[in-house]
Chain A
Amino acid sequence: MLRKGIALAALGLAMLSAPAALAAGAAAPVKHVEYSFEGPFGKFDQAQLQRGYKVYREVCSACHSMTLMSFRNLGQKDGPFYDPKYPNPNDNPYVKSIAKDYQIKDIDSETGDVIERPGTSADRFPSPFPNEPAARASNGGALPPDLSVMAKARHHGPQYIYSLLTGYKEPPAGLKVGVGQHYNPYMAGDVTAAWSGPHDKVPPGGFIAMAPPLAAGQVTFDDGTKSTLEQEAKDVAAFLTWASEPKMQERKSFGFAAMIYLLIFAGLLYASYRKIWKNVAH
């Protein structure tokens, strides 16, 4: 009975984890990229996070906000600029100097005037546009989404971001791409309406209003890493994953201790159970 039950439970779980169906004009399956933070013991690669932050800062931040992020986050444990010498990330000199490079809008507490002052580690990442209409106006009507939790907001987030950034392609003959739009096989959507080719050969993916943001050599990495398109995309996706889930490493290491504890506890309880029930026929 128990064995049957376990088999059924396994079946149920298998069905649970079956991926949700994809919409009709499905996007291409994401590219396979390996990351250091995968798996139960995976850790962020700090050098990669630093490179990724640089890509965000020099390229993506021109259009994309990250409203949930503060400069201090960059210096917190497992973050790109964490330094064990500064357990309080607000004191981290590197983080302070990054923040200082930004001018933050504020209210002068004496006069009430709107002023600009240099950023501090407690400030949030400033947004590139003052409001949504301004963001749309600069992007042909499309809104660049906030990237704070982007890696959690798409299936296979890190792989998806990488695939999207490296996946721009010449549209196949027969596909009409609108003004300000770009074809990307990894973008969600359905291009059927713009397709004049054979019915059963509709290209995968959709149209995206973001022009290819990255190109080889666009960002110079301070650690000498060669800045190919793939490297930039991989690193910025890693940075966005960290930003989406900054406590991932803490979660996994806490989980490891919790698992050991639970396994030992289960073993003890099972032994007690066998002992207590020894003389009961059941």
Chain B
Amino acid sequence: MSGHSNYEPKTGIERWLDTRLPIVRLAYDSIIDFPTPKNLNYWWTFGGILAVCLGIQLVTGIVLAMHYVPHVDHAFASVERIMRDVNYGWLIRYMHANGASMFFIAVYIHMFRGLYYGSYKAPREVLWILGCVIYLLMMATAFMGYVLPWGQMSFHGAVVITNLFGALPIVGEAITTWLWGGFAVDNPTLNRFFSLHYLLPFMIAGVVGLHIWALHVPGNNNPTGVNVKSKEDTVPFHPYYTVKDGFAIVVFLILFASFVFYNPNALGHADNYIPANPLVTPAHIVPEWYFLPFYAILRAVPDKLGGVLLMFGAIAVMFVLPWLDTSKVRSMRYRPTAKLYFFIFLLACLILGYCGGQLPDDHVIPHLSTFTLIDADLNSFVWLSRFAALYYFAYFLVILPILGLTETPLPQPESISAPVLSHPANAPAGAAASPEKRG
């Protein structure tokens, strides 16, 4: 999309079109000829996987919307009717419901990839921020989608989440009323959630376009984090990465299919097969697994407003990450200390996710009461969430800013082609390239 183009229109019609709307040139430059670092590993295939996930959600979603009835009296039965009476409706609905989970598995891997290899650093800050926007839109879309089948979790999840906005001072109550379209979660809420659930994925598609545009200006980062220096360092996207991404996509689809065909309700919650009943609150309201880390942060704070702010802060902090990390070295391959902190960060996120699915006051180590600190036993999920949340924020706000100034990175290779010889995995010691300056 930028820089030199090698496209040569071959046929008359291509030449004609090229001088009017160079769309074939755009496609050629971005997915055929695009020079791509030759050392990308499988963590880089998740971009393509995410595009496939979005495509699957759009196609299955549009078909579902042809049969779905957005009304509190009919929504639940209409989803069941899709699965019973629409040809292959079970396939379409289970693909859509599990597709949301698969989408989040892929996006989380994609994001941790970026964190590990420093893909958010200059000159890719805008690319990273656009990714964060996509992630926010995905969360909003998935939340509203989960409300649509109008089961018990749909309804009570919607109540819990929309009520969070009520914690905001002054405007809170007005915002919740506005979201609900009334004074409680009811038919108007379902109607607008359906409308927005249909709209947002197309906005995601638009931002994905910008994201790819912003990718094609600086080009891909790579596992060494070292800039592309010469043509030696790259291969054309096609066929090298079309085939590698293609392979990864199909492997991912095998995982996807194993859920859709053999365990379609494993990632959902049984209570959502009970039609929504405002008068009966489920014993244990839990969001979908992909929201659990944020749910744990929310509940870690004893104060409601504080919890809401911290939860949104957990996402907001990702937007400013490019300016928090002070290290000039992109890849953590060459930052052994940062690497250690990164893996602890990954662990903290998994712990948060686990805590989000537990009752806050339950013991982490069963049958062991220690002592009460502030409001709960120290051996409880709420305290574990607090420690993990503390680390989550410390990683962004303390560790990455300071570490970049104090650590001594390992020597980085001269170029991408060099470490083919000097990567610790396939080279004798001592073959490393010139030592790298601090920071």
- Which A residues lie within 8 Å of B267 (CB)? 16
Contact A20 B269 (CB under 8 A): yes
Chain A contact-residue range equals: 35 or more
- Which B residues lie within 8 Å of A255 (CB)? 257, 260-262
- Say how far A137's CB is from chain B's closest CB, in angstroms: 17
- Which B residues lie within 8 Å of A259 (CB)? 254, 257-258, 261
B306 located at the interface, meaning its Cβ lies under 8 Å from any Cβ of chain A in the complex = no
A24, A67, A251, A263: which contacts B264 (Cβ < 8 A)? A251
Q: List 7 A-B contacts (CB under 8 A).
A: A1-B41, A17-B266, A251-B264, A252-B261, A254-B91, A273-B247, A280-B235
A214 located at the interface, meaning its Cβ lies under 8 Å from any Cβ of chain B in the complex = no
- Say how far A101's CB is from chain B's closest CB, in angstroms: 23
Contact B261 A152 (CB under 8 A): no
B43, B251, B417: which contacts A5 (Cβ < 8 A)? B43
- Which A residues lie within 8 Å of B275 (CB)? 146
B257, B264, B346, B359: which contacts A23 (Cβ < 8 A)? B359
B51 located at the interface, meaning its Cβ lies under 8 Å from any Cβ of chain A in the complex = no
A281 located at the interface, meaning its Cβ lies under 8 Å from any Cβ of chain B in the complex = yes
Q: What 6 A-B pairs have minimum CB-CB distances, sorted nearest first?
A: A255-B261, A153-B273, A269-B247, A152-B273, A266-B250, A247-B90
B350 located at the interface, meaning its Cβ lies under 8 Å from any Cβ of chain A in the complex = yes
- Which A residues lie within 8 Å of B246 (CB)? 269
A171 located at the interface, meaning its Cβ lies under 8 Å from any Cβ of chain B in the complex = no
B362 located at the interface, meaning its Cβ lies under 8 Å from any Cβ of chain A in the complex = yes
Contact B247 A266 (CB under 8 A): yes
A8, A17, A157, A277: which contacts B270 (Cβ < 8 A)? A157
Question: Which stretch, B14-22, B155-163, B206-214, B281-289, touches the partner chain A?
Answer: B281-289
- Which B residues lie within 8 Å of A250 (CB)? 90
B interface list, Cβ under 8 A from A: 38-39, 41-43, 77, 80-81, 83-84, 90-91, 94, 105, 109, 223, 235, 239-240, 243-244, 246-247, 250-251, 253-254, 257-258, 260-262, 264-267, 269-271, 273-275, 283-284, 286, 289, 346, 350, 353-354, 357-359, 362, 417, 420
- Say how far B348's CB is from chain A's closest CB, in angstroms: 13
A interface list, Cβ under 8 A from B: 1-2, 5, 8-9, 11-12, 15-18, 20-21, 23-24, 40, 67-68, 73, 145-146, 148-149, 152-155, 157, 188, 244, 246-247, 250-252, 254-256, 258-259, 262-263, 265-266, 269-270, 272-273, 276-277, 280-282
- Say how far A157's CB is from chain B's closest CB, in angstroms: 7
Contact A280 B273 (CB under 8 A): no
- Say how far B157's CB is from chain A's closest CB, in angstroms: 14
A18, A157, A269, A276: which contacts B250 (Cβ < 8 A)? A269
Contact B353 A266 (CB under 8 A): no
How far, in whole Å, are A247 and B77 apart by their CA atoms in the complex? Answer: 16
Contact B270 A148 (CB under 8 A): no
- Say how far B320's CB is from chain A's closest CB, in angstroms: 26
- Which B residues lie within 8 Å of A145 (CB)? 274
How far, in whole Å, are A16 and B81 apart by their CA atoms in the complex? Answer: 29
- Say how far B359's CB is from chain A's closest CB, in angstroms: 5
How far, in whole Å, are A11 and B417 apart by their CA atoms in the complex? Answer: 33
A16, A24, A273: which contacts B289 (Cβ < 8 A)? A16
How far, in whole Å, are A247 and B283 apart by their CA atoms in the complex? Answer: 30
Contact A15 B354 (CB under 8 A): yes
- Say how far A212's CB is from chain B's closest CB, in angstroms: 23
